[in-house]
Structure 1
């Protein structure tokens, strides 16, 4: 019997061991590191722009670059890696993360920044597309949905904790040190993944056919398409506004770097609550959960747009925003896997591709609006996009009941 098979049998008979939870923790930290690295420019946008000699809008486009590369990479990961050990694949991806962040830290201008963000996009596409698929293979069946919540919590924590952390490091030691810190963490996590995870060969799938055929059939599944449309609008809305949250707060309320870091930390804390609350609810009712999150995003960005010169409104709005957006990654992920049983790797790759393409679109849209007409129009545009997501979810279809839950595997 293979090591991975032995691990699964032991889990089924005796429950999840401490070592297996440690393996989950390393996967969580890996998703946290890659997505934080992608979004790190958000928290250090203005000093980073000054250091590179470019505008904040152009600096924000670095998220567009990473998002586009990830959007291309993630859907083809299952096809390219074939039967390779998933443990080795994600470890190599973390090495790429270290390289990408290291290049960003030493970039003298926009050209090397572009190269570094391309490398980072490849790493992100690999890790994010595989994390939520390998996580339930590491634990007992009854903990599978929780393992997915944990794995995806790294994605949520990146925007809600990673960005404030990067802001604090950047304000204290400089934005280049912030990127160098995550370069070092990527190298350490590569070693941890290699030695703490068991061998993870390609999972058996009851679905026959090629990857291309699997992806085509997914795009003919109404619940999958509906979920992707909702996520695309919500993520575009979020990143149109959130990529430029630092200048939004600086211009509207006059907050300085320390105050903004504290506000983003509050956003992070509420976001973590949102992630695990949404994970528990989405395991049973993914569509209703995501729609509730969409409503929260509409309201929170609307508050910021309506009272953009009020410090109190900014704090409340950003806190609610974190609570709502913090649950989107896990809610959307469970919507996908419950809509495409037996094709988890393919649907996750497709989901991550749409998610990250929407990050790219949101960052680009936000940068264009910010540079041309300012923060007020930017916030109202983001609120309108989030409202479109809510409407699409109401009229669309979700996964059928009784096919998900704790059997995510």
Structure 2
């Protein structure tokens, strides 16, 4: 320090007390902060947005292709997805030039379903590689990539292959996650928009044929489906409560009947027009009304708000095996599900799709297996035909042959006197 600087320090010390010096220093610090904020405000339009993950040095990349129903890849770091090439790039210093392919739909053992699902390539690129595309859009929140292809247009598969696995995968983010949807159908996203909104606060990205390079701090490709069970997740009770919240459903439990009850329990009959239809529906309705039910008959539609509120207002729901029964997810707790099982040794399929899942949802389950005389197949095939005597031989020909006969060509005409026994059991379960 020279003599001039020493002289200035001495003058400064004599002119101000220690308290004044300290106050002056604080004032200078505040002024510097205000000036800095002003400069940032002025030059903000000229500054490029910085991704939240700019400081992440280590990339985490883990792919699991051993699960029976879904493949998944989880990555964290510099993750970039290019929609028009269905390629995901991960900048990595320890995994060089490795790659995976993932179809993000939770039914990987079904070749027919997976044919219409986009195949995403995941490439681990070494740092500073020229092949890493430049970001055109940056995000602070993580992303989940999934497909609504496959059988997603069917209500049963929409829930078991997409909605439930999406819930299981995204719930931990508490809506701070962005969905990248492959094979997007506007009807599908419109139908389930309330569920999607409850899981993510951000607008969905239609990733197919997208010419942007979207950059994220982390990403999950594929949806978690740990087992082969249908309509199932580890906590079905939580999922059911989530659905009731998504659609603002009022009833949590069914009517509790007593010997002095005045209110009638509501029975919802799921009607079908093309296949597996009730041929004597008026007789079934009349019998149910005589037994004390208020009966509603409807064919399920795509308006999930209307459907959910209707189902939630009922105590018992019945229908022939089919996707319409999936809406039992909206029944109040202790509600009763009656599944009418067509001919064709379909007990296993009926129990797998709706029997066991309904119990996990806190519902009561009843099954009514129709006889040959109650099936319209009796008008198409003689009694001694293999369709009745050996359904296994039809099954061995493949799902297409089985479906063609037992699902697509079969309607039911219930023996009303016999079916009343099942309705009586439903009433007992409501007491």
TM-score of the superposition, structure 1-length normalised?
A: 0.25
Quick check: which one's helix share is greater?
A: 1
TM-score of the superposition, structure 2-length normalised?
A: 0.24
Quick check: which one's strand share is greater?
A: 2
Larger of the two Rg values belongs to structure? 2
